[in-house]
Chain A
Amino acid sequence: KAGVTQTPRYLIKTRGQQVTLSCSPISGHRSVSWYQQTPGQGLQFLFEYFSETQRNKGNFPGRFSGRQFSNSRSEMNVSTLELGDSALYLCASSLVGTGTNTEAFFGQGTRLTVV
C-alpha cells in the first residue's frame, strides 16, 4: 500500500512569488491535513480538508490556502512568498472524518526555501 506522496521534495522560490505544493494521500483516506515545520515554531497545523471541504484552519495568514480534489488529492498554495515561509511543509492523511480519532500518516514533506 503506497504511503502519502508529496511533490516536489525540494523547492527554491524568490520573495514575492507564489508556490503550489501537492499531496496524494493513502488510498482510501479522505482527510488531508497540512503542517508547517520551522526551527522556531515547531510543527504547526495549517488546515484540513475532508471531502473537498476545508474543515479546520490554523492560525496562518490568508496567503496560505489549499484545496482538495474529488480523488482526495490536495494542493496547498502560498502567495506573495516571504523569507519566513521557508520551512518543511508536511501533508498528513487520515482514514476518517469528524468525531473520530485515527492516526495521521505523514508524507516526506516539501522543503521550501525562499530567497
Chain B
Amino acid sequence: DQQVKQNSPSLSVQEGRISILNCDYTNSMFDYFLWYKKYPAEGPTFLISISSIKDKNEDGRFTVFLNKSAKHLSLHIVPSQPGDSAVYFCAANNAGNMLTFGGGTRLMVKP
C-alpha cells in the first residue's frame, strides 16, 4: 500500500529551464509535506516543506505547490542548474515524526 507515490522515476531538463517534480498521496490524514534531495550513499538533504493549510511555499529557486483536493504536490525548480542533479524524494507526515516517503525521482539537469 503505497501512500505516497512519485510516478516519474526520472526527469531530464536543460540547464536554465524549469524542473517540475510531482508527488501524489492517498492518506488524507497527512498534514505536512517535505521534499528532500539525495545523492548516492548519503543521507537526504531537506529542501522545502509545506503545511496542509497552505497551497504554496517558496524558498529561492524552489517552490512547492499543494493541491489538497487532488492529493497532489509538486516541486518547481527555477532555473534548474547542473548541481540540482540528484534523486528527489517527497515525504508526508501526520502530526508525528514518522515520514512516509515516495519512491523518488532522479533529476538530470543537462548543461
Contact = CB atoms under 8 A, between A and B. Distances in A.
A50 B97 CA distance: 10
Contacts of A111: 41
- Size category of the binding interface on chain B: 20 to 34
B96 A43 contact: no
Interface string A49-78: 010000110100000000000000000000
Interface string B33-65: 010100001111110010100000000000000
Chain A contact surface mostly: strand
Contacts, number: 73
A55 B95 CA distance: 12
A6 B43 CA distance: 10
A98 B97 CA distance: 7
Contacts of A31: 97
A101 B42 contact: no
A109 B41 contact: yes
Contacts of A21: none
Nearest to A88: B41
A105 B97 contact: no
Interface in B50-100: 51, 89, 91, 93, 95-100
B93 to A, nearest CB: 5
A26 B9 CA distance: 32
Interface of B: 31-32, 34, 36, 41-46, 49, 51, 89, 91, 93, 95-104
Interface of A: 4, 6, 31, 33, 35, 42-45, 48, 50, 55-56, 58, 88, 90-92, 94, 97-101, 103-109, 111
